[in-house]
Amino acid sequence: MPASRVHRRTPSRKAAWRALSAAALAGILALTACGSDSPGASWNDGKKDGGQQADSGPKQGGTITSPAADAKDVPASTTIAFTLENASDPSIELKSASGETVEGELQEDGKSWLPEGALEYATTYTATINATGADGKPTTSTSTFTTMAKPSKVVRVSSFLGDGQVVGVGMPLIVRFGRAVPKDYRDDVQARLFVRSTPHQEGIWHWASPTEVRFRPKEYWQAGTQIRYKLQTGGLPMGDGYYGRADVNVDVKIGPSLIMTVDNKTKKMTVTKDGKVVKTIPVSLGKKSTPSSSGTMVVIEKQRKTIFDTMDDPNPENRYRTPIDFAQRLTWSGQFIHAAPWSEGQQGRVNVSHGCVNVSMAMGEWLFGQTRIGDVITVKNTEEKLQNGNGWTDWNMSWEQYVKGSAIPYNG
């Protein structure tokens, strides 16, 4: 059986209006009866129980977003990240609880500020962001955080070069880590390796291994370049609960542009200095059984006197123990430029070495006095190609190959 419908009579519009008007009138009479001290009627927007509410307009200013307010155990390597809303011209002040000011600078992203070095461990800091609002008035906001206790697991970070060294135009900046840096952390580490050159030259970091990263410019360093690089790794997370032990700062200078070019076809080395040919030197390269490598290398180390000892070589023909003068290492496998008085009769005509670039005693001494660590040598037209990694082979790679070794995408 279908449910029955109940019909209700709806009051007419006029009757409803009369009832509403009567209720309103009663309310007015009631308010009047309260006396003249009663507050006047006002709009209520939900923000206050009553009273006049002024419109303050849109929010203006900056907000510290990281570290979070009252955060604990913050890494000593932290940056100060912030956002701006209807504001411009941000500046950051960072002070310890004792009132000591920390120096630093805004980063290129315009959204963060980096202290000039690692913060103190187990210390409370207050970050203040000052900005100019859209109305031209100054704004200020603060946030307080506390750094972590000093970690027990640290990674040593070191530079191959030391302060004040003068090196060749092909010298890569080499940074080594006392422990392998996990792949997922390399971009964060690389982002804390800063290079400033005067004059400015475009360059990039390249991970040669999990424990070594190198920097080279797109072209050879310009002669006389001043380089300052900072490894801001103190307190920086490096995976598996390890942190960078300390920051490292290095200042070096690039010397004259000295380039050596060896051509197996002519058996000669051409030496140019600052773009001018200063010497042509007869050479003897590796014989067919032990060829010299073709490729671009740099001088890794120099020894006025040394001994070449290959007595552990499995091939009896390659075993020897010989005193050497004016040795300049080019590869880890043992190829050098060096004086070889025993082959002076063959230099410029025949290859008789075990892979080295043989020059006369006089030319070995002269060349030794001209070169620096990082000077460039290119060997051409031999039977064997240089293998990348066999020495500082950063210039044996094209720029396109080199940037692939960066942990941060290249946007040049």
List C-alpha distances in Å: 270 to 259, 282, 343, 367.
8, 9, 19, 11
Dist. CA 207–CA 205, nearest whole Å:
7
| Residue found under tokens 């279908």 | 2
- Which of 159, 156, 296, 154 is CA-nearest to residue 214? 159
**Marked catalytic residue, from 7, 200, 206, 338:** 338
List C-alpha distances in Å: 201 to 96, 175, 215, 346.
37, 19, 12, 42
Q: Torsions phi, psi of 90, nearest 5?
A: -75, 150
**206 in active site:** no
DSSP state of 342: G
Residues contacting residue 128 through CB under 8 Å, at least 6 positions apart = 92, 93, 94, 95, 140, 141, 142
126 contacts 101 by C-beta, under 8 angstroms = no
Q: What is the CA radius of gyration of the chain?
A: 37
DSSP string, 8-49: -PPPPHHHHHHHHHHHHHHHHHHHHHT-TTSPPP----SSSS
**338 in active site:** yes
Q: Torsions phi, psi of 396, nearest 5?
A: -85, -5
DSSP string, 96-140: ETT-PEEPEEE-TTSSEEEESSPPPTT-EEEEEEEEEETTS-EEE
Beta bridge partners of 305: 325
Q: Produce one character per residue of 208-223: b if its CB has 16 or more CB atoms within 10 Å, e if not.
A: beeeebbbbbeebbeb
Q: How far is CA 300 from the centre of its chain?
A: 24
Q: What is the dihedral of CA 401, 406, 411, 412, to 10 degrees?
A: -60
283 contacts 268 by C-beta, under 8 angstroms = yes
Annotated catalytic residues are: 338, 356
